[in-house]
Chain A
Amino acid sequence: MDVKQLSIAELHDAYAKRELSVEAVTSAYLDNITKRDSSLHAYLTVLGEAAMAQADVLDKRLLGGEKPTGLFGVPLAIKDNMCLAGTRTTAASKILDPYIAPYTSTAVQKVSDSGAVILGKTNLDEFAMGSSTENSAYQKTANPWDPKRVPGGSSGGSAVAVASQQALVSLGSDTGGSIRQPASLCGVVGLKPTYGRVSRHGLIALSSSLDQIGPFARNVTDAFNVYQAIVGKDENDATTTEEITVDRDVLTRGLAGLRIGFLEEAMLEGMDEEVTARVKEALTLMEKAGAKIIPLKIPTARLSLALYYVIVTSEVSSNLARYDGIRYGVAQSPFGPSFENFTTVNRSHGLGAEAQRRSILGTYTLSKGYADRYYNRAHELMDVVAHDFMAAFREVDVIFGPTSPTVAFPLGEKFNDPLTMYLSDIFTVPANIANLPAISIPIGFAHKLPVGGQFIGPRFGEGQVFRAAAAYEAESGFANLSATPQI
């Protein structure tokens, strides 16, 4: 038996029957990291020793009669923009190269408290800025379906870790699609919860108005289990809300009677025809299974990408101002002639091209005379887009469409053309702009590469999103895909 094929429920069953130990499962994953990650580069830090020590503790608890629940004994990877006390936490930036987190982020603490075994910290675009993981200052992560292609981003390492069975599940962060787009390109499930569901305390900030932590998994049920472990109010993050329980029954409610909206704007000119075909096939399948497909128009949704980049660049310029080499990070020695020179040298050496580009643009969009035209205006329009989505959700339960306009693209193809790269997120950003939960799940293949479909739900409507995703998964059989190079 390959233990890496087992779901969380199957692992728990085997633990309860003493057929498997947490140590054996953790070892199997660590061995696979040794075997595969020298070519895929999903991990920035592997925490082998700590993982085995944690496995030992959990095995002792099993021997003491504990029944495995939650994430007990689940090998899990975390994106390296989440703090874990005592471990290097870089956000894939050189400026944080020597940074050892002095505290643990709430989401990581929650998975740990739930019994997860943390295998390591995964690669990302620097400070989560990007759609291909090529902006990491340390390494480029390869797509396990075709190593010459990108895994998507910014949570590319977390997506690849799960797709290549180097972790059973993982955590990523999603500001404009950074969980869902790499999930789509790597053939796994990725959820961005509603803004406010999961605490960002200890998540290195990219865009505070939009950032949200969520899970990657190889099937919807495993993603649900991770989601249940990380949600809830946290006094360290004022945007979090009281927990609203999502009943596990949603995973078996099926498609009959579900009202699924289909955005006419989701069919772009010039979009990959095979991706379009897979989306239409998915709609047909769901209709046959009893769902009602309802065409929708939300014209303001098309503004989302522009709004997103105004808000993100503005907030990046503010959030990244703290990297001055005084309180943490790399710093020149001796000091040089002035404070300004000191921080300028540190930042110019430590921040990569995309971080610099966005800091400069954000400085412009926040500057006197332009803030009303850009940042303040974007926040006004963000409310408009959210309002229009809320109106749409009076007619439908969920909205379905493609996650990404293309399959995984070749490494380097969009690297020097920021605007084209930004367009990779055209279908994912509206959920961030309107503060909605959204999940990407595999819906088939195009050009021998995975294609993802996205369900968006109303605010705090994760139950509807999980219901639709689990029901589609059951109808289609696209789950637990095995990422092996197809070309």
Chain B
Amino acid sequence: MHLSDEDIAHLGKLSRLSLTPDQRHTFAEQLSAVLDYLDQINQGDAEHVAAHIPRRALAPYDLREDIAKASSSQDLTSQAPHREGRLVVSPPTI
């Protein structure tokens, strides 16, 4: 699987990352090589064995009931870089 510099630019935008042309090129080369390696999961006997095992048979987890607990807005917002009083401030979103 070959990723072009343009593919990387698009994926960067989706990932909220701004990449220089050099970074785009380096990532395109590195990630194309990694993807070639990862594609073995879609080849050969991987296909064969997957058909024989029931999915999600091994790891169900019990979820507890959701119970509301008191928490402090001071704790929740203490690490926000921009805040006013007990509110978090962000740039305009619309």
Q: Please report A residues at the B interface, Cβ cutoff 8 Å.
A: 98-100, 102-103, 196, 235, 238-239, 299-300, 303, 305-307, 309-310, 317, 321, 324-331, 333, 335-336, 338-345, 347-348, 351, 356-357, 359-361, 363-365, 367, 373-374, 377-378, 380-381, 383-384, 386-387, 418-419, 422, 435
Contacts and interface: CB of A to CB of B under 8 A. Distances in A.
A198 to B, nearest CB: 15
13 contacts: A306-B38, A328-B79, A341-B91, A344-B18, A351-B17, A356-B12, A356-B15, A356-B17, A356-B23, A360-B15, A384-B53, A387-B58, A418-B30
A241 to B, nearest CB: 8
Contacts of A299: 45
A235 B64 contact: yes
Contact of A419 (B34, B46, B78, B81): B34
B17 A342 contact: no
Interface string B25-58: 0010011011101111110011001101111111
Interface SS of A by simple majority: helix
Contact of B38 (A310, A343, A345): A310
Given A361-B31, A377-B41, A384-B50, 5 more contacts: A299-B45, A306-B39, A351-B17, A356-B19, A380-B50
B92 A338 contact: yes
A348 B38 contact: no
Given A328-B81, A360-B8, A338 B91 contact: yes
Contacts of A373: 42
A103 B57 CA distance: 35
A351 B82 CA distance: 19
A347 B58 CA distance: 36
Contacts of B41: 303, 306-307, 310, 374, 377-378, 381
Q: 5 nearest interchain CB pairs?
A: A331-B81, A328-B79, A335-B91, A348-B18, A102-B75
B38 to A, nearest CB: 5
Contacts of A333: 81-82
B93 A339 contact: yes
Nearest to B67: A235
A306 B37 contact: yes
A345 B18 CA distance: 7
Contact of B63 (A238, A336, A339, A378): A238
A327 B79 contact: yes
Contact of B40 (A103, A303, A328, A344): A303
Interface of B: 3, 7-8, 11-12, 14-19, 23, 27, 30-31, 33-35, 37-42, 45-46, 49-50, 52-59, 61-64, 75-76, 78-82, 88, 90-93
B11 A363 contact: yes
Contacts of A340: 16
B42 A377 contact: yes
Q: Which of A310, A326, A338 is most buried by chain B, counting CB atoms within 10 A of its CB?
A: A326
Contact of B78 (A102, A321, A418, A422): A102
Nearest to B52: A384
B49 A360 contact: no
Given A238-B63, A339-B92, A384-B49, A364 B79 contact: no
Contacts of B15: 317, 347, 356, 359-360, 363
Contacts of B34: 309, 361, 418-419, 422
A266 to B, nearest CB: 18
Contacts of B59: 383, 435
A224 to B, nearest CB: 26
Nearest to B41: A306
A343 B3 CA distance: 25
Contacts of B80: 326-328
Contact of B37 (A321, A325, A419): A419
